[in-house]
A = this chain, B = another copy of it.
Amino acid sequence: MLTTLTEENYLKAIYHISQTSKKGVSTNAIAKKIDAKASSVTDMLKKLADKNLITYIKYKGVNLTEKGRLTAVDIIRKHRLWEVFLVDKLNFSWDEVHDVAEQLEHIKSPKLINELDALLDFPTHDPHGDPIPDKNGQIQRTDKIVLSQASVGETYTCVGVIDSSSDFLKYLDKHQIGLGSKIHVIEKEDFDQSMSLEINSKTIVMSKSITNNLFVKKL
């Protein structure tokens, strides 16, 4: 059974929300992510349940079935491969790729995506540091932490961003911070959790709203 573009977007939203909360995914959470009204979401949940892509019990949250999870992960695989393509082959910067990838992820052609994978030399991560699921839906999880939880005195490598909005990515570009940047934690302010960091031999102070959006790994 083929999935429509809209159904695919719902599955992706449900998948992403379910990654952050363990419990069933609520109607309102989906509505917020999809930017639709809760009543529209309820309608769609019935359709997805009919297609055995989610388990849905009225008034309880929903969960992806294995079939639904595989469909969602396949869309995410395509999204991230296209983002790599745009950056590596078409000179896009990492803050320009998301919207185009949102369109490209719905193109249906297994050969297209397998060949793209090969053209890009089987990348494991997208331009924002997110892992690219393999053909079987397996995702390689790494032991990254959020920068706000890093320890004073330690040095880290930047391995990913959480917020990949253009504004945030441009802030990082301005300070020459990207994947692979070395970040040494000089000090952590108790009052507002802001951090003093040494990056590229310069000292920079970041507020909590920024350090909450960077993934790092201990060197």
Say if the beta carbon of A44 comes within 8 Å of chain B: no
- A103–B92 touching, CB < 8 Å: no
For residue A113, which residue of chain B has the nearest CB?
Answer: B90
Give the residues in chain B near A104, CB-CB below 8 Å: 104, 107
Once A116-B90, A119-B90 are accepted as A-B contacts, the answer to whether A103 and B108 lie under 8 Å apart by CB is yes
Interface size class of A (residues with CB under 8 A): 10 to 19
Tell me the number of copies of this protein.
Answer: 2
Say if the beta carbon of A95 comes within 8 Å of chain B: no
* Closest-CB distance, A148 to chain B (whole angstroms): 34
* Closest-CB distance, A174 to chain B (whole angstroms): 21
Say if the beta carbon of A91 comes within 8 Å of chain B: yes
Complex Cα gap A112–B99 (Å): 11
Contact with B along A85-125 (1 / 0, CB 8 A): 01001111000100110011001110110011001000000
Give the residues in chain B near A108, CB-CB below 8 Å: 103
Chain A residues near B (Cβ < 8 Å)? 86, 89-92, 96, 99-100, 103-104, 107-109, 111-112, 115-116, 119
